[in-house]
Amino acid sequence: MKVLKALMYFSRVVTLSIDISTEGSSVLVASDREFESYLETAFNTRRSNFGNTLYCYSPTSYQYQIDDHHINNSRNFLSLSVTGLACSLNCDHCQKKLLNGMIPTLSPDELIKRCIEVKKYNGEGVLISGGADSQGSVPLDRFGDAIRFVKTQLGLKVVVHTGILKESSVSMLADVGVDAVMLDVIANPDVSHRVYHLTDGPKRIRESLRLLDEYKVPSVPHVLIGLDYGKINGELDALTMISEFYPAGIVIIILNPVRGTPMANVTPPSPSVTGRILTIARLGFPKTPLLLGCARPIGHHKVKSDRYAIRAGVNGIAYISQEGVDFAREVGLKPNFKDICCSLSYQTISSD
């Protein structure tokens, strides 16, 4: 059943054109020939609503260079961890190892110091993240005044990766004017419990999204494909949950098995499956910025995923491969490189 629902998000209209939970399942099980038709519809939807620009994001937390682009300013957009390497959840797919790629900023003073450094070198902003406490929340509350300084005195972009939110935290984030809140959305209670070690995870994630809407904080939900040890289990439910709210953008990421974790030897979802879920997201959210994020497998998987993402109608890709850039041009898109977090896509698109 087709569902049309127009919702106001600030000055933008978010239109939901399909019932993700029912019609989305049809895309997942479609034959290759049928899937080609869905891809064509998704790509044409994207061009109709957003034009021909493909944003290629490369925040400067990692080294990145392809023939078409290299990062000129290594301090342009840094990733900071307010907990250092500490995390109480110790999720099965990460076990604190992804925190190694972030700069420890354990106090508000350290956070300000790092951001002054970004400003000194003409950088654009920071991602503020960290490990979670036992309730699934990144402890950000005591950094409110520091974030306010970064926004008002330094004029930097601030994206925060929060985990589950309580109302006082959302109120603080609204008050200091963060540019975007990234929140991992898990809709399957069993997966949330087994992998994230959370009790009532989906219920509290839904409440976090509701609070972000209530306080008008731009939310950019993330959906991790293959979180259940590489299996598809709850991803469409996660998109359905997101459709209850007004996201500024949606980021799809893919399980990238990390050495030394329980998922080290798991086979990640294929590029084709990734393409199907991206297609569902585009058809479900035709006027919402859709991104393929930075957390995903590299190598041939990355090249193929880039290609599917472009055909599925994404607005942008983080750390795109050169092959992805070449393919984008082949299908009539114009790559536009930005050394910032892809969660800021809603600002990028509206300003260009």
**Which whole number is the average pLDDT over 82-86?**
95
Give the integer Cα–Cα distance in Å for 123 and 130: 21
Does an H or E element contain 335, and which? strand 334-338
Domain limits of the chain?
A: 5-351
| Chain segment 6-27, per-residue pLDDT in tens | 333 333 444 447 889 888 999 9
Sign of the C-alpha dihedral, residues 348, 218, 294, 290? negative
| Chain segment 165-195, per-residue pLDDT in tens | 999 999 999 999 999 999 999 999 999 999 9
Indicate the SS3 state at residue 244: coil
pLDDT for the residue 100:
86
Cβ-proximal residues to 48 (8 Å cutoff; 6+ apart), any chain: none
Cβ-proximal residues to 197 (8 Å cutoff; 6+ apart), any chain: 89, 90, 91
**Which whole number is the average pLDDT over 36-58?**
96
**Which whole number is the average pLDDT over 313-341?**
98
Eight-class DSSP state of 245: S
Grade residue 77 by pLDDT with cuts at 50, 70 and 90: very high
Place of tokens 């898109």: 333
Cβ-proximal residues to 83 (8 Å cutoff; 6+ apart), any chain: 99, 106, 130, 131, 138, 139
pLDDT for the residue 9:
37
Query: 95 pLDDT exceeds 80?
Result: no
Mean pLDDT of the chain: 93
Place of tokens 């008050």: 175
Query: 101 pLDDT exceeds 90?
Result: no
| Chain segment 126-144, per-residue pLDDT in tens | 999 999 999 999 999 999 9
pLDDT for the residue 96:
84
pLDDT for the residue 352:
65
Grade residue 4 by pLDDT with cuts at 50, 70 and 90: very low
CA separation, residue 172 to residues 142, 217, 266 (Å): 10, 10, 39
Query: 242 pLDDT exceeds 90?
Result: yes
Give the integer Cα–Cα distance in Å for 217 and 296: 27
Highest mean pLDDT among 61-75, 80-94, 225-239, 338-352: 225-239
pLDDT for the residue 351:
65
The CATH number of domain 5-351 is 3.90.79.10 = no
Query: 110 pLDDT exceeds 90?
Result: yes
**In the chain, what are the helix, strand and coil shares in percent, each to the nearest 5?**
40, 20, 40
Burial (CB < 10 A; 0-12, 13-18, 19+), residue 134, is: exposed
**Which whole number is the average pLDDT over 263-282?**
97
Sign of the C-alpha dihedral, residues 68, 125, 289, 184? positive
pLDDT for the residue 251:
98
